[in-house]
Amino acid sequence: MELLDGRLVKKEILNKLKEEVAHLDRSPGLVVVQVGEDPASNVYVGQKEKMAKELGYQYSHVKLVSDVTQEKIEEVIDGLNADETVDGIIVQMPLPKQLDTKRIQNLIRVDKDVDGLSDMNAGKLIHNEDALMPCTPKGIMDILEYYQIDVEGKNVVIVGRSDLVGKPLAAMMLNKNATVTVCHSKTVNLAHYTKQADILVAAVGKKNIITPDMVKDGAVIIDVGINRIDGKLYGDVDFEGVKDKVSYITPVPGGVGQMTVAELAKNVLKAYHNIEK
């Protein structure tokens, strides 16, 4: 078994970007809009800030009070959409209940939507057109590419169908000519599907939902799950149980989780180039 090392792939991506950014006339601009003071959101926003500063991006953080109105946040986004120094806009999720999340995601200019969560970018991805793509599934595609694991013609089984991970990943895999099966909480006999996977992706959020008997010998395992139990991080896959059975596996931590911020950095540069064109 070989580990798919997200830290290594992330480092390579960030080093390449740093070199490219050093030669630009203007620093790419990233703005993160955060509503309230959710502790997990504070951590994620901090990671984005660290990445942006490391790469020499222009970074700003717009903090709004937790009872901000829909009208006010829309005004903020309209302003950022019009600002020529801003290439990428992120609205940190989740948002408080009084706000219309979908409407806010769709208000971000398509070419500045570096989270790739707008309907327009999702549609472009489905149609295999150039798009800003969601970072976590794009990170999975890049890890596989780095390790030269070709997905064409492979049986790819994805457990989880969220708009953030499972669905966009299914589209990316189809666009690369994989044969894709997507499973979810209503799937009857999950193991029947997972056992056929050449590449098995678990994106559920339940520790050990994938056990050794559910995995084919020699399969590639991508574990997206992040489950914090008693202060320790676990994926969705019984790592110890499957590790001697599979060909490659992403560890948790140190696998897919590393990639999200690197892919965001790539998206900001892509948005910069789209805008500069």
Report whether the peptide linkage leading into residue 253 is cis, meaning its omega lies within 30 degrees of zero. yes
Residue 167 catalytic?
no
Residue 92 catalytic?
yes
Torsion of CA 82, 83, 87, 88, to 10 degrees: -70
Based on CB atoms, which residue is closest to ligand NAP, 52 or 209?
209
β 232-234/227-229 pair status:
antiparallel
d(CA 180, CA 63): 40
- Confirm or reject binding of residue 260 to ligand NAP (CB under 6 A): yes
- Confirm or reject binding of residue 184 to ligand NAP (CB under 6 A): yes
- Cβ-based neighbour number of residue 92 at 10 Å: 21
Structural element, H or E, at residue 82:
helix 70-82
Based on CB atoms, which residue is closest to ligand NAP, 21 or 190?
190
Structural element, H or E, at residue 228:
strand 227-229
- Name the minimum Å distance from CB 225 to ligand NAP: 4
Question: Is residue 88 a contact partner of residue 115, using CB atoms and an 8 Å limit?
Answer: no
- Name the minimum Å distance from CB 119 to ligand NAP: 17
Instruction: Match 């903090």 to its residue by tokens.
Output: 63
- Confirm or reject binding of residue 268 to ligand NAP (CB under 6 A): no
Based on CB atoms, which residue is closest to ligand NAP, 56 or 205?
205
- Confirm or reject binding of residue 250 to ligand NAP (CB under 6 A): no
- 268's tokens: 């900001």
- Name the minimum Å distance from CB 274 to ligand NAP: 24
- Name the minimum Å distance from CB 14 to ligand NAP: 16
- Cβ-based neighbour number of residue 245 at 10 Å: 16
- 33's tokens: 């809009």
CA distances from 79 to 35, 62, 92 (A): 16, 12, 17
How many residues of this chain bind ligand NAP (CB under 6 A)? 26
- Where in 57-76 is the site for ligand NAP (CB under 6 A)? none
Judged by CB under 6 A, the residue of 107, 204, 220, 249 near ligand NAP is: 204
- Where in 152-181 is the site for ligand NAP (CB under 6 A)? 159-162, 164-166
Number of residues assigned to the chain = 277
- Confirm or reject binding of residue 106 to ligand NAP (CB under 6 A): no
Judged by CB under 6 A, the residue of 132, 141, 172, 183 near ligand NAP is: 183
- Confirm or reject binding of residue 13 to ligand NAP (CB under 6 A): no
- Confirm or reject binding of residue 221 to ligand NAP (CB under 6 A): no
- Confirm or reject binding of residue 126 to ligand NAP (CB under 6 A): no
Question: Is residue 134 a contact partner of residue 168, using CB atoms and an 8 Å limit?
Answer: yes
Task: List contacts with ligand NAP (CB under 6 A).
Answer: 136, 159-162, 164-166, 183-187, 190, 203-206, 209, 224-227, 256-257, 260
List active site positions.
48, 92, 115
